[in-house]
Structure 1
Amino acid sequence: MNRIVPLILAVALFMEQMDSTVIATSLPAIAHDLGVGPITLKLALTAYMVSLAIFIPLSGWMADRFGAKRVFRLAILVFIAGSILCAIASSLFGFVGARFLQGMGGAMMTPVARLVLVRSTQRSELVGAMAMLTIPALVGPLAGPPLGGFITTYFSWHWIFLINVPIGVIGFILSGLFLPEIEASRPPALDGKGFVLSAVAASGTMFGFSVISLPALPPIVGILSVVLGFVCALLYWRHARSHPSPILDLKLFSDSAFRAAAVGGSLFRISIGAVPFLMPLMLQVGFGLTPFQSGMITFAGAIGAITTKVFARRALALMGFRTTLIVAGIAGAVLTFVNGLFTPATPSIVMIAVLVVAGLIRSLFFTSVNALSFADIPDRDASKATSMSAVLQQMSLAFGVATAGSILEIEGWITGTHLELSDFHLAFMLISAITLVSILPFIGMSKDAGATVSGHRRPGERQAEAVGGAQG
């Protein structure tokens, strides 16, 4: 495997993942310039997520039809165009539209990058390659808020988007030079009805979760949107069972490894969505820290995520997917629970140490679960698997934020008071319980599941190989 390939893909994904959260701390400044309220401008965050939900299912079909490399490079250009339009926007409508365009580019960039990696990497090297893509997925959302706050404070919010231009141009050039050519195929005709149903199901659900957790609109709007999303999901399920080539192929779930990775990964990802939402709020509301101070503490999780590539491959070779994911799931739940024990008296170094270890554990989990998703999937179905995985990822992250926000809202409604530190403590503890449930799909897996990817061998097999090697 050409080692520059995962590096190019990782840089592009870091740009996309960071941009999903980078404007969070800059909303007041952007809203002031556009002449609207910060709450109203949160529609820009929602527009980005809705765009992802609509166009991710289309990414697999487009990669097969036009070639994965070509679609990936086109996605970078669309993302750059959206970034420029965000920087020059002078109205709410223009800014929200530009964020929607950015989401279109991001929707194609993430799953197609994973597809390029799967199709250009030997299965025995897939774990190491996936670790490169896991890092930006975890570091980007953590880096976004402090970086956005720093740029807005010392420069201008416009540079949050303009900085994407040189990074994107470099990525476009390098991807043209180094990414392998993956031949386009002749996929079946686009499943138009399935695309509409899946788009409404995913976007309705994500929009509803966003409105419920960040009430820029009345909560009833979010509830009705979620209901519409679930109805369309049910209609899509009926449609996909009879369609010969559905845009999101539910037959993928017949593969036990993919099914476990999808269900367990989605449950664990709820924590990934909830913790970055809860931690900055707790540090600011409960501890009285500034946004920049809280951002610098939460960024510690990125340090742990970066170190995963060093040992993820060895851990999987030693323990296999099943044991690694169970251990990482339990450890992730415990560390999320520990967040609920922090108080203003807790030394910063202790909080940072916990967040570093938590970042390491989460990165190990997702490196493993992403590789497991493709462990037994034939190459011909890789594009379908990338689309399905990306949709589940975005929806579970949105559900994590919504769950955390709903817990805080319910606690405030019950107590009739403003948010207090104890509210955040309870929220972390409830999220940790959901995180723990994520290990259940992996308990029933075979210890040898995905062994061709993890390189795991049972002790007896390793001993036989050693004896055979000595005799040879």
Structure 2
Amino acid sequence: MGGFFDPMKHRFSRARTRLLWLVAVGFFMQTLDATIVNTALPAMAHSLQESPLRMQSVVVSYSLAMAMLIPASGWLADRFGMRRTFLGAIVAFVLGSVLCALSPTLDLLVASRVLQGFGGALLLPVGRLVILRTFPRDEFLEAISFVAIPGLVGPLIGPTLGGWLVEVASWHWIFLINVPVGVAGLVATLRYMPRGQRMPAGRFDLVGYALLAFGMVALSLGLDGLSGLGLRQAGVLVLMVFGLAALAAYWLHAARSPRPLFSPRLFGIDTVRIGLLGNLFARLGSGSMPFLVPLMLQLGLGYSPLYAGMMMLPVAIAGMAVKRAATPLITRLGYRRVLVGNTFAVGVMMASFALMTPQQPLGVRIVQLAVFGAVNSLQFTAMNTVTLKDLGQALASSGNSLLSMVQMLAMGMGVAAAGAALGAYTDFFGTGTSEQTLQAFQATFASMGLLTLAAAFIFSQLAHDEPTAAATAKEPDLGA
């Protein structure tokens, strides 16, 4: 990320400074709600009379909704205007938050999270587009760096804030706190965001979008159906087959479409192709950790929601601290060595959570969480930069959107896969005692860590880059 700075001391005008704060708050809302829910899942399950081990659909629905709408975000902004689209995103996000708080059943809560995810999917890309079209090129990097800061703060405080709200109030308040912020955002958008000129929207690839969206939904529901939806094996198989067929049909369609959502030329670039596939498989494992860790601390080890949330602080703090070390490390060793070795380290650290017990010293637990946070953050930085570093100007926007979509899809599928594994191990070990529940979690961590190691085979296909020739690893503004 770019350096931290104070826009009030910069040459930015007061109007542009207010615009930066507006977009930054929108980014903060989106990233906060991606993590604040995790520590509240057991309390939600108790209130809705559901099993806490089958609440992953609350997380999956949000990530999947974001992945679905990201490909259309640029076209929507051009078609309806930046300010109108940003207003619509805030309205959808706030309305979804209110409906989440009022949901009396899990099905309604999941549906409300989808609406909330649709709003969240537009807040970041449209906000970034507003800055791109408002600030001149020589000010853009500083402006986008400031907006990115709340993206780091949201995941940092989300789990702890969620646990605290559950203990002092109720889980409903993790959604209701979005209302005053959203209302203030609506007023600020109307007052400070420029209308901007309408851009030619062009023809939207509706057929390609429908195939891509259906494929993502079908695959995610197939994974989630292994545990959360209670689908039988035949139903899961049908969803998975139709999902894969839809994705295959999309790429066949894109190859002959004059204006596809994502140009097939992207996959002609080795680093893009390997980076996207590596992102997908690596995040299938690591994307499940914000879901699994708070859940195990509460259900397997018997800790409070606040304690579980606070235990995520070492992960976030270590992740932020390692950012500065990423560039010199990648420059010295090269992307291939860093990604192959660090993918192995991420998988091993994930599997090490299978060793967590109630008797484990607190210091050891904090170190374990911090080391995972550090290697996981380095993994994200290296994966993101290797994917985008060789893109030309013509493909940069399309490649960035595709990477953002893959990230959200992989995180949702990772939680669904972890939920399926946890459900299977729960059936195997039983749920009669806390010891049996802990064993199910331990086996799930070992399995998800092993799953992450598979990404190392993909990253090993990168060219042997010369250490001194490795690109300067400035992580793009992708939110993760």
Distance 1:376 1:193 in 2: 29
- Which of the numbers 246, 269, 277 marks the counterpart of 1:263? 277
Answer yes or no: is the 8 Å Cα contact 2:31–2:155 preserved in 1: yes
Aligned AA (2:218): G
- Which of the numbers 443, 453, 475 marks the counterpart of 1:426? 443
- 1:352 and 2:366 are equivalent in the alignment: yes
Q: Offset of 1:190 from its aligned partner?
A: 0.6
Aligned AA (1:408): L
**Mean alpha-carbon deviation: is it higher for 141-150 or for 385-394?**
141-150
Matched with 1:208 is 222
Matched with 1:447 is 465
Distance 2:268 2:34 in 1: 32
Matched with 2:15 is none
| Distance verdict in 2 for CA 1:197–1:171, change over 3 Å | same
Q: Offset of 1:52 from its aligned partner?
A: 2.4
Distance 1:445 1:174 in 2: 48
Matched with 2:356 is 342
Answer yes or no: is the 8 Å Cα contact 1:64–1:383 preserved in 2: no
| Distance verdict in 2 for CA 1:399–1:90, change over 3 Å | closer
Distance 1:118 1:319 in 2: 33
| Distance verdict in 2 for CA 1:154–1:416, change over 3 Å | closer
Matched with 2:12 is none
| Distance verdict in 2 for CA 1:51–1:147, change over 3 Å | same
| Distance verdict in 2 for CA 1:436–1:36, change over 3 Å | closer
- 5 Å-filtered alignment, 1:35-434, equals 37=50, 45=59, 47-63=61-77, 65=79, 71-72=85-86, 74-87=88-101, 95-112=109-126, 133=148, 136=151, 140=154, 143-168=157-182, 185-186=199-200, 188-215=202-229, 221-414=235-428, 419-434=436-451
Describe the SS at the equivalent of 1:402.
helix
| Distance verdict in 2 for CA 1:213–1:395, change over 3 Å | farther
Answer yes or no: is the 8 Å Cα contact 1:151–1:160 preserved in 2: yes
Distance 2:95 2:196 in 1: 25
Distance 1:294 1:37 in 2: 20
Answer yes or no: is the 8 Å Cα contact 1:47–1:100 preserved in 2: yes
Query: What is the CA deviation profile of residues 422-451 of structure 1, one whole-angstrom value per residue up to 9, with x for unaligned ones?
Result: 443333233223323323333323425995
Distance 2:194 2:458 in 1: 35
Query: What is the CA deviation profile of residues 134-174 of structure 1, one whole-angstrom value per residue up to 9, with x for unaligned ones?
Result: 9847x756754442232132124443223223444666678
Instruction: Give 5+ residue unaligned stretches, structure 2.
Output: 8-18, 475-480
| Distance verdict in 2 for CA 1:99–1:322, change over 3 Å | same
Distance 2:272 2:149 in 1: 17
Aligned AA (1:434): L
Aligned AA (1:321): Y
**Mean alpha-carbon deviation: is it higher for 177-186 or for 50-59?**
177-186
| Distance verdict in 2 for CA 1:417–1:231, change over 3 Å | same
Equivalent pairs: percent with the same residue? 33
Query: What is the CA deviation profile of residues 232-278 of structure 1, one whole-angstrom value per residue up to 9, with x for unaligned ones?
Result: 11222221221121223333121222122211122221222222333
Distance 1:85 1:422 in 2: 36
Distance 1:180 1:375 in 2: 32
- 1:435 and 2:452 are equivalent in the alignment: yes
Aligned AA (1:12): G
Describe the SS at the equivalent of 1:377.
coil
Answer yes or no: is the 8 Å Cα contact 1:60–1:384 preserved in 2: no
Q: Offset of 1:197 from its aligned partner?
A: 1.1
Q: Offset of 1:301 from its aligned partner?
A: 1.0
Distance 1:166 1:25 in 2: 22
Distance 1:446 1:268 in 2: 20
**Mean alpha-carbon deviation: is it higher for 76-85 or for 113-122?**
113-122
Distance 2:304 2:258 in 1: 55
Aligned AA (1:202): M
Distance 2:102 2:55 in 1: 16
Matched with 1:459 is none
**Mean alpha-carbon deviation: is it higher for 173-182 or for 61-70?**
173-182
Q: Offset of 1:200 from its aligned partner?
A: 1.0
Aligned AA (1:266): L
Query: What is the CA deviation profile of residues 57-113 of structure 1, one whole-angstrom value per residue up to 9, with x for unaligned ones?
Result: 212433455666774564334323332444456777765554332111112234445
Distance 1:183 1:36 in 2: 50
Describe the SS at the equivalent of 1:208.
helix
Distance 1:403 1:94 in 2: 22
Query: What is the CA deviation profile of residues 357-387 of structure 1, one whole-angstrom value per residue up to 9, with x for unaligned ones?
Result: 2112211221232233322223333332233
Q: Offset of 1:9 from its aligned partner?
A: 5.6
Matched with 1:469 is none
Describe the SS at the equivalent of 1:79.
helix
Distance 1:126 1:437 in 2: 35
